[in-house]
Homo-oligomer: A and B are copies of this chain.
Amino acid sequence: MQIDNIDVQAYPGSQKIYVNGTLYPDMRIGMRQINLTPTVKIGDDGHKITTPNAPVVVYDTSGPYTDPDYKIDINKGLPRMRDQWLNADSDLEQLPAITSEYGRMREADKSLDAIRFPNRHAPRRAREGKHITQMAKAQQGIITPEMEYVAIRENLNNAQLGIPTYITPEFVRSEIASGRAIIPANINHPEAEPMIIGRKFAVKLNTNIGNSALSSGIEEEINKAVWSCYWGGDTLMDLSTGDNIHETREWIIRNCPVPVGTVPVYQALEKVNGRVEDLTWEIYRDTLIEQAEQGVDYFTIHAGALKAHAEMVGERLTGIVSRGGSIMTRWAVLHNEENFLYTHFDEICQILEQYDVAVSLGDGLRPGSIHDANDRSQFLELDVLGELTQIAWRHNVQVLIEGPGHVPMHKIEENMDRQVRKCAEAPFYTLGPLVTDIAPGYDHITSAIGAAQIAWLGTAMICYVTPKEHLALPELEDVRVGVITYKIAAHAADIAKRLPGAEVRDNAMSKARFEFRWKDQFNLSLDPERAKSYYVSSQEFDEHYCTMCGPNFCAMRISQNLIKDCDKHVF
């Protein structure tokens, strides 16, 4: 199988820049620099006065795709950037081949050659008895390359602006050591650029892609993955539940510059043809290894949805709306046994630790309607997630806690407060929440309202919702709208949290707006192309008013004249 190389546009008016590390000087952290045109004024003597505007450097999730010097080759995969560090780590061993049974079976199946990613690598694993996760190293006092990488990435242009760079590599290390932040970075996903999730850092956003039994092929999913990174997705979950999950995932991971997450029980269920009762710990365990060796950076594991919770489901208006939660609860009831993810959680952590896969503790009982928000099953499960956090940390496994869902605004704060308290400040990762149930087709908006609020209160990562939520799988346009909507929510939260430097881009935009520098406005936009396409005008860009108000009613134009009048001491 050969996949056509996708066409990724460079960001308009921008250039890819690289900043070098200090502790690790060979390190190159990619960023996007938006170059601005100068401010031009006409002086009293009629001469033009030109003042340059400093470029704005912004966080860049697009990886090598927007580097004009990089030749995209989807069939080869992205450069394995972290190999340089991982190869030097004597705590890691290079395995001769993948070890999962299912993975080996797929490898041996000739009929899959046609759809297989061509450029596969044998996996790495921790040597026996070695503790290799970012958390383990942080607790040993080691500043890893990944830690310096994210420290530089988070600071952006603060130094240039004279803002103190409080995000030092040592600060990152201490946040990772405490469990308050994570760097999801599987040793088998060296293509991904390190990033950090924690409430003292910029709010991150996750996007979901993946096929279902009813739709979508490999090429389409890769396109969605790259598209998501291009628009600003910080991490990517592959939620495929259809055919060829194993092969689809390989293509995605090898071409994905951001951490990739999955919900392993989806694939485990496919392996037993969708029959919940046939799920076993052995099949699930092998799935974890299969995916860890492919390079999945974090697993959503619904280990907190217990059998006792199943009895409470009848109290609810919308039962269980988490796929993983409903599967595991039903399994527990059918077998009259406790959820095997809970009973085997210690063993799960032992596997995850060997590859530095982070665990994202799934909220299988998240409310699926505002009616069910903050009810007893939701909060009982959160208590269990708190217990599981401590178990994971004992194994040096990095932890995220997943959160709702559907929550009316006045019940959002309690979610955040309880999560911090019950889960010892492990980073919170929420889906929205949607603040009303009545707007299918617009749930990116109902959920962005809740996401902005909960992120302001401390949620470290928000999971996007697209306009197709509740209705169908997202297509490319939905991914774009979902990502931009969540960039808005995340950025609004960064500003409200008063992260140093968060307003730089806003201020540059507003200055450009006041000075009618239209091209700069577009280039500074989260979606330059769309902004420009809406600016319908027969005029050239430098006209000093816009099509919204026309020349006589442009407040900014009148306001500029006003400032000139005041300068001339008219009164």
Contact = CB atoms under 8 A, between A and B. Distances in A.
A442 interface: yes
Nearest to A335: B571
Nearest to A474: B548
Given A449-B448, A553-B212, A558-B320, A527 B439 contact: yes
Given A323-B553, A547-B212, A550-B213, A492 B558 contact: no
B492 A436 contact: yes
A325 B521 CA distance: 24
Given A467-B534, A472-B546, A556-B319, A488 B409 contact: no
A496 interface: yes
Interface in A292-307: 307
A333 B371 contact: no
A311 interface: yes
Given A213-B550, A371-B506, A513 B470 contact: yes
Contact of A442 (B322, B410, B484, B558): B484
Cβ-closest 9 pairs across A and B:
A274-B552, A369-B510, A319-B559, A409-B496, A326-B558, A213-B550, A441-B530, A435-B492, A320-B559
Interface of A: 212-215, 241-242, 266, 269-270, 274, 276, 307, 310-311, 313-314, 317-323, 325-327, 329-330, 333-334, 336, 368-372, 406, 408-410, 435-442, 444-446, 448-449, 452-453, 456, 467-473, 484-485, 487-489, 491-493, 495-498, 503, 505-507, 509-511, 513-514, 521-522, 524-527, 530-531, 533-537, 546-556, 558-563, 565-567, 570-571
Contact of A566 (B314, B321, B442, B527): B314
Contact of A527 (B442, B514, B563): B442
A375 to B, nearest CB: 13
Contacts of A322: 555
A325 B276 CA distance: 65
A534 B471 contact: yes
Chain B CB within 10 Å, residue with most, of A215, A468, A470 = A470
A548 B216 CA distance: 11
Nearest to A494: B436
A365 to B, nearest CB: 10
Given A409-B492, A439-B525, 9 more contacts: A212-B548, A269-B553, A314-B567, A317-B511, A438-B509, A438-B525, A440-B531, A471-B547, A472-B534
Nearest to A211: B550
A318 B561 contact: no
Nearest to A513: B318
B212 A492 contact: no
Contacts of A310: 562, 566
Given A408-B496, A559-B326, A449 B446 contact: no
Contact of A241 (B213, B323, B525, B549): B549
A446 B506 CA distance: 12
Contacts of A556: 318-321, 326, 368
Q: Chain B CB within 10 Å — which of A327, A406, A505 has the most?
A: A327
Nearest to A554: B323
Nearest to A567: B314
Nearest to A537: B472
Contacts of A330: 558-559, 561-562, 565
Contact of A495 (B212, B241, B333, B370): B370
Contact of A506 (B436, B497, B506): B436
A213 B551 contact: yes
Given A506-B437, A526-B442, A471 B320 contact: no
B531 A441 contact: yes
A214 B550 contact: yes
A438 B560 contact: no
Contacts of A484: 439, 442
A320 B555 contact: yes
Contacts of A537: 472
A269 B552 contact: yes
A322 B368 CA distance: 41
A237 to B, nearest CB: 14
B212 A549 contact: yes
Contact of A336 (B370, B487, B497, B571): B571
A440 B372 CA distance: 35
Contacts of A326: 555-556, 558-559, 562
A548 B317 contact: no
A307 to B, nearest CB: 7
Contacts of A467: 534
B320 A440 contact: no
A526 B439 contact: yes
B325 A555 contact: yes
